[in-house]
């Protein structure tokens, strides 16, 4: 539930229209979602291998610290807090607010509702791991049911658009096609991202060598099946042009089957899904800031555990507060671009840790090289296509270098 909950947020309900505006044939659109799923699956194999090799390490931050240098781990934790996790949470919280207001008919600012949702989930996760994980499991099960229902509506019940799946390409093969496909892959990888955050919980698992590896693979395969099914449904009902024309494809599909009541069903499904993603983010990522502080590389208060709830309350509150700031200041598309560019830089670096620790992942070393290259291709393409958005993430990343040396000197 934690693996799948870290992946399924708002992306599958919104990002398909962004993909359809970058590439314009069903084959390329479906290919982009299949590509993203294969990258996530390769990554799950690699992270499962890392968990098996070094079960005592607490996830991605610790893998980078041990494989390269403490600076690499610190920079990841720095941008996780300031860009990756909180930026993704902010984008999803804004989406939650829009659909929640649509569902309830209330009149309020998107930012106010987004901040309220973040505050409530911060409070729940401060009550303890059990409270946070129970909330996560319930919300994830509801998400699976909702996505499956939308897929069935599009594949079985709705009228098809008779969209032809030929030609395969929308332009001649060449550099322009490669960059367009890369731009389409950016929102796809954002939608698939988050499976790796389950590794942050490794130190609190009874048997991470077995259970984390199993959870990674089953969770990513489950998401892959859900995502491919719902995208076939979108293309079957809306076609490429219809998909590109609507920013709410799930609503458009369900409306064909249920009429106006379909809008309420879709709004409820997206509201639950986004809330589940935020719940998972609150549960997992604060463990990274806690570990940084325990290493002496962050504010000491962040390394303290509540004596009553046994969770790092300061780390959870810090993350929630910064996500609220971003939610009030950014646009969804802008947040998406600078989050992806920085996140996949470190995901690729973490995959390469297998070379340092030794590994037996299926197809290694070729699958490892393919995974890392795919991650860094998306980073380079995002910088090329959206330099204005990505420069902000890279500047925040660079600011982590003097911050690291500041805390390093304090430790000395």
Distance, CA of 399 to CA of 239 (rounded, Å):
45
Q: How does the average pLDDT of the chain come out, rounded?
A: 86
Highest mean pLDDT of the ranges 26-40, 100-114, 121-135, 202-216: 26-40
- Tell me: pLDDT of 363 over 80: yes
∠ CA 91-92-97, nearest 5°, is 100
Give the whole-number percent of the chain exceeding pLDDT 90. Answer: 27
The residue among 338 and 366 whose pLDDT is bigger is: 366
Predicted pLDDT at 319? 94
DSSP label at 156?
A: I
C-alpha radius of gyration, the chain, whole number: 20
Distance, CA of 128 to CA of 347 (rounded, Å):
28
Q: How many residues does the chain have?
A: 412
In a 13 Å sphere around the CA of 213, the CA atoms on its Cβ side amount to 15
Band of residue 330 on the pLDDT scale cut at 50, 70, 90: low
| Phi, psi angle pair for 171, to nearest 5° | -160, 165
Give the whole-number percent of the chain exceeding pLDDT 70. Answer: 98
- Tell me: pLDDT of 333 over 80: no
DSSP label at 159?
A: P
Across 311-322, average pLDDT: 92
Find the range with the poorest average confidence among 70-74, 123-127, 162-166, 383-387. 162-166
Query: If you write DSSP's letter for every residue of 246-267 in order, what string do you get?
Result: -S-HHHHHHHHHHTTHHHHHHH
- Residue 52's nearest CA partner among 206, 200, 202, 208 is 208
- What tokens does 206 get? 């009874």
Across 364-376, average pLDDT: 91
- Residue 288's nearest CA partner among 239, 225, 372, 346 is 346
Give me the domain span that covers residue 248.
Answer: 2-411
- What tokens does 411 get? 């430790």
Query: If you write DSSP's letter for every residue of 19-34 in order, what string do you get?
Result: HHTT--SHHHHHHHHH
Across 91-105, average pLDDT: 84
Distance, CA of 378 to CA of 406 (rounded, Å):
32
- Residue 278's nearest CA partner among 218, 202, 360, 194 is 194
- Residue 114's nearest CA partner among 264, 393, 330 is 330
Across 283-301, average pLDDT: 89
- What tokens does 270 get? 């997206």
Distance, CA of 366 to CA of 343 (rounded, Å):
22
Predicted pLDDT at 269? 84
- Tell me: pLDDT of 28 over 90: yes
Residue 21: count of CB within 10 angstroms of its CB: 15
Predicted pLDDT at 137? 79
Q: Give the end-to-end CA distance of the chain in Å, rounded to a whole number.
A: 41
Tell me which long-range contacts 326-333 makes (C-beta under 8 A, separation of at least 24). Answer: 326/86, 326/87, 326/89, 326/90, 327/89, 327/90, 327/93, 327/94, 327/111, 327/114, 327/115, 327/118, 328/111, 328/114, 328/115, 330/87, 330/90, 330/91, 332/14, 332/91, 332/94, 332/95, 333/18, 333/389
Distance, CA of 210 to CA of 230 (rounded, Å):
31
The residue among 184 and 166 whose pLDDT is bigger is: 184
- What tokens does 75 get? 């920079």
Across 17-21, average pLDDT: 90
Predicted pLDDT at 31? 93
- Tell me: pLDDT of 126 over 80: yes
Per the structure, how many domains does the chain have? 1
CATH number at residue 216: 1.20.1740.10
- Residue 335's nearest CA partner among 30, 23, 95 is 95
Token look-up 């207001």 returns 101
The residue among 125 and 63 whose pLDDT is bigger is: 63
The residue among 370 and 125 whose pLDDT is bigger is: 370
- What tokens does 231 get? 């995208």
């Amino acid at each position: 539930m934690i693996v799948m909950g870290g992946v399924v947020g708002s992306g599958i309900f919104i990002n398909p229209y962004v993909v359809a505006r970058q590439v314009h044939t069903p084959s390329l659109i479906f290919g982009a979602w299949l590509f993203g799923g294969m990258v996530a699956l390769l990554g799950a194999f690699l992270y499962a291998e890392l968990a098996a090799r070094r079960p005592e390490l607490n996830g991605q931050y610790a893998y980078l610290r041990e494989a390269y240098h403490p600076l690499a781990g610190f920079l990841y934790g720095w941008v996780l807090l300031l860009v990756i996790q909180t930026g993704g949470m902010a984008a999803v919280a804004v989406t939650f607010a829009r659909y929640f207001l649509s569902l309830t008919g209330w009149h309020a600012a998107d930012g106010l509702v987004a901040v309220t949702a973040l505050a409530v989930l911060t409070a729940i996760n401060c009550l303890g791991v059990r409270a946070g994980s129970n909330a996560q499991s319930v919300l994830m099960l509801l998400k699976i049911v909702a996505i499956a229902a939308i897929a069935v509506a599009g594949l079985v019940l709705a009228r098809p658009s008779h969209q032809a799946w030929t030609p395969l390409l929308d332009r001649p093969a060449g550099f322009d096609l490669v960059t367009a496909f890369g731009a389409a892959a950016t929102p796809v990888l954002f939608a698939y991202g988050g499976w790796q955050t389950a590794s942050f919980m490794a130190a609190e698992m009874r048997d991470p060598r077995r259970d984390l590896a199993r959870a990674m693979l089953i969770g990513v395969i489950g998401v892959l099946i859900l995502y491919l099914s719902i995208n076939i449904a979108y293309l079957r009902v809306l076609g490429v042009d219809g998909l590109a024309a609507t920013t709410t494809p799930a609503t458009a599909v369900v409306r064909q089957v249920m009429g106006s009541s379909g809008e309420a069903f879709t709004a409820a499904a997206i509201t639950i899904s986004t809330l589940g993603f935020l719940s998972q983010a609150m549960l997992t990522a604060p463990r990274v800031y806690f570990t940084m502080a325990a290493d002496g590389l962050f504010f000491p208060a962040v390394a303290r555990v509540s004596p009553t709830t046994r969770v790092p309350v300061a780390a959870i509150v810090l993350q929630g507060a910064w996500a609220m700031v971003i939610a009030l200041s950014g646009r969804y598309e802008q947040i998406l671009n600078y989050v992806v560019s920085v996140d996949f830089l470190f995901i690729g670096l973490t995959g390469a840790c297998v070379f340092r620790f030794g590994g037996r992942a299926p197809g290694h070393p070729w699958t490892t090289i393919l995974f890392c290259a795919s991650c860094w291709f998306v980073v380079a393409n995002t910088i090329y296509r959206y330099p204005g958005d990505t420069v902000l993430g890279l500047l925040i990343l660079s600011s982590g270098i003097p911050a690291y040396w500041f805390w390093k000197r304090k430790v000395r």
